[in-house]
Structures are given as structure tokens and as C-alpha cells.
Structure 1
Amino acid sequence: MIKPTKRDKNPTRKPLQAVLALSAVAALLVACGSSNSDLFPIPVIPAPKTALVAPELTVSCPITNSWIESLVTKGKAPAFNGAQFGAIGTYDYILAEASAKVNPNDPCAATIVDLKNSADASGMVNYKFDVVILTPSDAAKASGSLLYIVNNRTNTSALEGLNDGSGNDLFNNVAPVMPTTATGTVTTGLGAGSAYLMKQGMTVVL
């Protein structure tokens, strides 16, 4: 979590604030993709079941010899159909592309089938992935805090749990319907849902 900073009401500094926010996201992603193998002990990897089936692991096996090389913005647009979130106002989503490398000789690389076959001439495997940044349209209204949600197969359970919405739906804002009786049924929200994070001015990275 990035510590809040003093808000700047000067509108001429908003582009700089956006650049700093993107830089913070890049730094956070780099930190999460560290090549520091001292963070985790090297586990014992069992042999693969077959040439196509990865080994079964009884303990976590994080690949640590991997890192982000660049983060490039691809586009920006209003999020959640331009819905207003109290005093914070509207939100934007920024789509960025991260370029990364992973060493196929990492002790845990065996958990990814055929990773070594994807190495380039330098012996490294290059890959890219999209990054979505949700942030207040008015940078001066941002809280200064950033929540990084590591998604799992596009599932963003933290966003859905805190907002009762959907991390896969950035274009709607339908609040959940709570039952008025004990036997009623909860209707799950869409998009920003209850918008708890948005109303706090939180910047969210998915």
C-alpha cells in the first residue's frame, strides 16, 4: 500500500500526478516480479508426470527470477459509464501493457510446461500482459492510496468482495440489491457495485 501524500489543488500539476501514479504502479509491479531468490527458499521439485503434465506440488513454488522491463499506456477512457462517486466524482480506467522476462532455469520453472522451449537466443522467455488502472478522473481528489490486486485467471476477488461488483465489468455501475426480509435474495452488483473503493478515492491496479 502506498502512503497517502498531500493533495495538490493546482490543476496544472495533474498531468505530473498521473505520470507519478503510473510510475508508482510500474515500481510496484517490478517489486512483485523480483529476481531476488533470497525471498523464498528453493523448494524440492518432483519430476513431471509426463512431458506434457507438470509435477504435482505439495508446497508453494514461486518463480522469483522474473521481472518487469517496461509499462506502456495504451489508452484511457471513463470507467463505469461515467458514474459519479460522491465527492470523488468520476473514475477513469487506464489500460497499460507490461513487458516482462522470466528465466526458464529458475528452480520453479518446471511448474510451467514447455517454458524452456520458449526461450530466445539469450536464454530468457519474454512475455506481456495487460494492466488496468482505475483512478479518479480528478487527480486532486485521489486519496493517495493504491490497492494492487493480483488477479487469478482474470478473477479479481478483492475488488468484487470490497465493492460487491465485478472486476471484469468496468463499464457499468449497478449497486447490489439487499433483501428487506431474512428470506430475501441478494442481487449481486455489476461493475463498481457498491463503489466502496471509489467513494474513498482509491486507485486500484488490476
Structure 2
Amino acid sequence: MSIRLLIADDDAIVREGFKMVLGMDESFEIIGAVENGQKAVEFCQSNEVDVALLDVRMPIKNGVEATREICEKSKTKVLILTTFDDDEFINDAIKYGAKGYLLKSNPPEKIKNAIKMVYGGNAVIENVVLDRLKESLKASNVGKIDKSLFSEREFQIIGSISRGLSNREISKELFISEGTVANYITSILNKTGLQHRTQIAIYYLNNGSI
């Protein structure tokens, strides 16, 4: 079964380029292409979109604003594809639920693989973007993760998140329900003052085995 895609970019040449490149791959079905974030939100609400590819800088509603609404109002997973790596957009897009953040300059195969990973429930973040996030976190007032804060189960889940596993994959690996995994993640975020699971993974990777 093909992955149903929506492409949202205000540049018609970029939209058509992605449609052509991705449309030639039987793994994907392009079911829509729009020129602004508002239309992307409306399309995801009225159609079954598996993954939405969103540009950041779009008129009427930008990609970050669209990400928040799409993630709140639909089951669509969001992958940000942009030429920009601004810290403010990175943090907000991920906070609002984006599962991936890549630069458009990547080769087609890398973008295709990223779409498949996002569709499978994993997070995909460009190295340069990850570096920006690390620097942003270092400059924040949030402290290092302290292992003594966590139960053994919470620590196992932190390790699983750092390996890019989705809640479903963690639940299968640890033999607990997805709801229980979500509750543990909420507890971890509350204990650390972090905002989302990507930050948990970054701190884990920064500190080795915590």
C-alpha cells in the first residue's frame, strides 16, 4: 500500500518537482499539493493523508502554525522540508508535533527514506538541525538529566526514545501498553522540565549513558 502524501509549498516549481520525483516511486501516492499552510490544514482534515510535507515559510499560515493544527485535528504525520534552519522554527515545529525536519537540499533518496521513517512512527532530524537543537538546549536553563530522578522503567524508556522508537515500538519492546508508555513520557518530561521527546533523546545522546 502506497504512503499517501500531501505537499505544501508556496513555490510552484518546488511543488511540481516533489510531485514528479516522489510520484515516480510506487511507494508513494501524491494525493494533494497546496500553496499555503491554511490549505494544508484544510486538506488534512478532509482527506486521509499519511504524511504531509510542509515548507516553513508560506503565506496565510506558515508551516509551523500548520503543523500544530494538523497534529491537533488529524492523524497526519508532519515532515518539515525547508531551506531554512532557524532555531525558532525548529523548536516550535517539533514542539507542535512534527516528526521530521529536513533541508530540501538533501538528495531524493534521503527524503524518501525520511518519509518512510516518519510514516513508520519514527522521528527524523537533519544533523545540522540536531546540532542547532543541542546548542539551543545548552543555552537554556534546563539542567542535565539526573539518572537518580527516574525509575528503572523510565530510564528504559529514555533509552528507547534515544534510539528513535515510537510509542508503539516501545510498548512492544517492554511489553506494556501504549497508554502506559505515554504516561511514563509525561512523567519524564515533568521531572526534567523538558518540552518534548526529542529533547529527551538529545540530552541522552549528549550525556552518553546519563
More strand per residue: 1
Greater relative contact order, per chain length (Cα 8 Å cut-off, separation 6+)? 1
More helix per residue: 2
TM-score (norm 2): 0.27
